[in-house]
Homo-oligomer: A and B are copies of this chain.
Amino acid sequence: MLNNYNSEDKVLLSVDCIIFGFDNEGLKILLIKRGFEPEKGKWSLMGGFLKKDESLNKAAIRVLNFYTGLQDIYMEQFYAYSEVDRDPVERTISVAYYALINIENHNAELIKNYEAQWFSISKMPKLIFDHNEMVSHAMRRLRYRTSTKPVGFELLPEKFTMRQLLELYEAILDKKLDKRNFISKINSLDILVKLNEKDMLSSRKGSYLYKFDKEKYDAKLLNHFVLNL
């Protein structure tokens, strides 16, 4: 029985985290100004190297926490990038993760301390290496995700209006949706609770607030559906 696979090449393995958020300005992504060479000072995804004694999932969580202080964020792995010259310094394979989080809950203070910054998807700067490609793949994945799983619990405040939910979906799918059809499709998913409370900020009439029914929402997360928006 062997103790090791001698003579095989070893490589650096990193994780990169794509964190989506949403607020009344639209869909955003969390970036950092890279603190070390090469490309120091350029905008970048939050990334770091895998350590010998941790899984990729753990590494992704650790890296995100390091840059933002964020805890307990569930990220989903989506692709390993391995072009030989993707990192000019040294051969590095990077496994990309993405997650959705609520901007307001996740305290601007922490993010400020850590120098991470939210950017509108549409105004994202050029990023280092192949990070722009990662983001666009993650966007594609997120778009796709809306058609099989509910989205929103992670991105909206606890109480939200139908309009906010509609605008979230429009931001993700990057297209206008018909309000009436949208509402009836969302209602047919049966994951919302209509509250006896109105948001009076956005209109004279005021619009009802909703929240997600956590249990039903989580159930739908497991047993996919098909939603055609």
Contact = CB atoms under 8 A, between A and B. Distances in A.
A201 interface: no
A82 B91 CA distance: 19
A5 B1 contact: no
A93 interface: yes
A11 interface: yes
Contacts of A92: 5
B83 A37 contact: no
Please state the number of chain copies in the assembly: 2
Contacts of A55: 82-84
A13 B38 CA distance: 24
- The DSSP consensus for interface residues of chain A is loop
Given A13-B93, A90-B5, A228-B226, A80 B56 contact: yes
A35 to B, nearest CB: 13
A222 interface: no
A57 B82 contact: yes
A62 to B, nearest CB: 13
Given A55-B82, A77-B80, A80-B80, A89 B3 contact: yes
A4 B89 contact: yes
A51 interface: yes
**Most chain B beta-carbon contacts within 10 A, residue among A3, A38, A53, A84:** A84
A33 to B, nearest CB: 17
A61 to B, nearest CB: 13
A79 B80 CA distance: 8
